[in-house]
Amino acid sequence: MPPLLGAVTSEPLGLTLPVWVTAAARAALQVLRGDAFTANQPLQLQRPPEVELAPPALTLVPVQAAACLADGWVLATAQCDPGPGVLDLTRGLAVWVQARWFEAGPAGAPEPVEHAESDQGWLVLEAGEGVGVLAASGEPCLSGYARQLLEANLRPLVPEGRRLVLRIVIPAGRRLAERTSNAAFGVVEGLALIGTQAEVQRSAAPEQLDAALAQLRARAAAPGFAGDLVVVIGENGLDLAPRLGLPVGLLLKAGNWLGPLLVAAAEAGVQRLLLFGYQGKLIKLAGGIFHTHHHLADGRAEVLTALAALEGLAGPALAALYGAPTVEQALAELASGHAPLAERLRARIAAAIEQRSADYLARYGQTSTTVGAVLFDRSRRVCARGPLGVGLLAAFASDAT
């Protein structure tokens, strides 16, 4: 095994699901290679720099066990720990990773599974029980960061000319996914590996706002800052935005403290700000709710029906909209019978988000920042653009090319 390079740190508590999966995968690969099992796996968790002036820092991430199984498989297990004081459903979650070498030919090939994909030839990745897959394609749902973790920490250990098969299993994943919004983004059958960083963020906690404000100040102070910013809501937004051409350098993940973040952005010199997020979350801003955690305020049904009434919806149809369990379902059912009206309603929601955001900033004396809104739906498809969001999305995507 290659020698460890760079600084090594312990105390890995508070890490996202992709990190624990990578730790178990590395432990399985270690035993598959014939090396001794190591209970603390040294992982490179940060994105590699453009030019490596020093060896990458490594973090020791604990795994529980690794052992050989039949037919050339090795199984390793890890247990997630999102850190103290964090209400996260991954706490204590068991993660299993099976590994084996890919052998060509029907006699030696791994058993086919329903959900698999090939990654650059050296890795065959399979979604086992409890791992979320994209409903549209059946492929495992991984963020770009999750793929980078696997690449950085596993590929150096795969001998030249060999291919590695990884089968990820989250025994409780299917059950826990019912408590998430995965289905709202077209992810089915389990938990998605969509973390975009190593550390768990607490979206409702004041520390999360502090972290976002610190990133904002660093962006505004950086050379070449042009006054542009894209505020993305949640992990799905952060993962989807680059696929639409939005520059990664403009993206700032927000938690639930949107109001203070908007004001701070204006004070920091942001001139053009694009809000990019799921329609069922951002709709709260259309009602003037700028702290979006559901424990503090909801009002989505009320905002939706008020805006629908302004579009002319009335009677039983309006009552059905109000009674729908989610914004997503309400709009989908409306579209099934009144498609043009549903499209106008989405556009009105986006426009109301922009207007309410401008009003919010004006209350704090900030009137020089343009705020646009772009919304996506459960299929990770852009479903609405505000009047200002149309231009900002096009401008930012154009600047990236």
* pLDDT level of residue 398 (50, 70, 90 thresholds): confident
Residue 383 has pLDDT above 60, yes or no: yes
Whether 180 and 215 share a structural domain: no
Indicate the number of domains in the chain. 2
Q: Backbone phi, then psi, for 353, in 5-degree steps?
A: -60, -45
C-alpha closest to that of 149 among 82, 197, 101, 97? 197
Residue 2 lies in a domain: no
Residue 47 has pLDDT above 90, yes or no: no
Residue 305, token pair as written in the block = 């029906």
How far apart, in whole angstroms, are the C-alpha atoms of residue 81 and residue 56?
23
* pLDDT level of residue 10 (50, 70, 90 thresholds): low
Q: Last residue of some domain: 191, 217, 241?
A: 191
pLDDT at 12: 52
Distances (CA, A) of 325 to 256, 302, 371: 21, 12, 29
Residue 61 lies in a domain: yes
Residue 101 has pLDDT above 50, yes or no: yes
Residue 52 has pLDDT above 60, yes or no: no
pTM assigned to the model: 0.57
Residue 386, domain CATH = 3.40.1050
pLDDT at 137: 84
What is the distance, to the nearest Å, from the Cα of residue 203 to the centroid of all Cα atoms in its chain? 13
pLDDT at 109: 47
In which domain, by residue range, is 151 found? 8-191
Whether 184 and 234 share a structural domain: no
C-alpha closest to that of 264 among 201, 209, 205, 206? 209
Q: Last residue of some domain: 135, 165, 191?
A: 191
Q: Which stretch of 222-226, 257-261, 344-348 has the lowest confidence by average pLDDT? A: 257-261
Whether 252 and 352 share a structural domain: yes
Whether 71 and 179 share a structural domain: yes
Bridge partners, 98 (sequence order):
75, 167
Residue 197 lies in a domain: no
Starting at the edge strand found earlier in the chain, the sheet holding 58-62 runs 8-9, 58-62, 40-43
Provide the mean pLDDT of the chain.
84
Whether 130 and 54 share a structural domain: yes
Q: Last residue of some domain: 159, 191, 223?
A: 191
pLDDT at 361: 92
Q: Which stretch of 77-86, 122-131, 376-385 has the lowest confidence by average pLDDT? A: 77-86
Within 8 A by CB and 6+ apart from 157, the residues are: 1, 2, 26, 29, 30, 33
pLDDT at 201: 60
Whether 297 and 187 share a structural domain: no
Whether 284 and 141 share a structural domain: no
Residue 135 lies in a domain: yes
pLDDT one-digit tens code per residue, 284-296: 989 888 766 544 4
Q: State the Cα angle at 230 between 224 and 235, rounded to 5°.
A: 125
How far apart, in whole angstroms, are the C-alpha atoms of residue 142 and residue 148?
10
Residue 350 lies in a domain: yes
Q: Give the DSSP per-residue string, 108-157.
A: TSPPP-SSEEEETTTEEEEE-TEE-EETTT--B-B-HHHHHHHHHHHGGG
pLDDT one-digit tens code per residue, 353-366: 999 999 999 988 88
Residue 153 lies in a domain: yes
pLDDT one-digit tens code per residue, 150-190: 999 999 999 998 999 999 999 999 988 877 767 766 788 89
Residue 248 lies in a domain: yes
C-alpha closest to that of 383 among 186, 188, 187? 186
pLDDT at 89: 77
Whether 107 and 40 share a structural domain: yes
Whether 138 and 244 share a structural domain: no
Whether 217 and 120 share a structural domain: no
Whether 313 and 386 share a structural domain: yes
Whether 89 and 220 share a structural domain: no
Task: Give exposure, 371-400, as e/b (b: 16+ Cβ within 10 Å).
Answer: bbbbbbbbebebbbbbebbeebbeebeeee
Residue 351 lies in a domain: yes
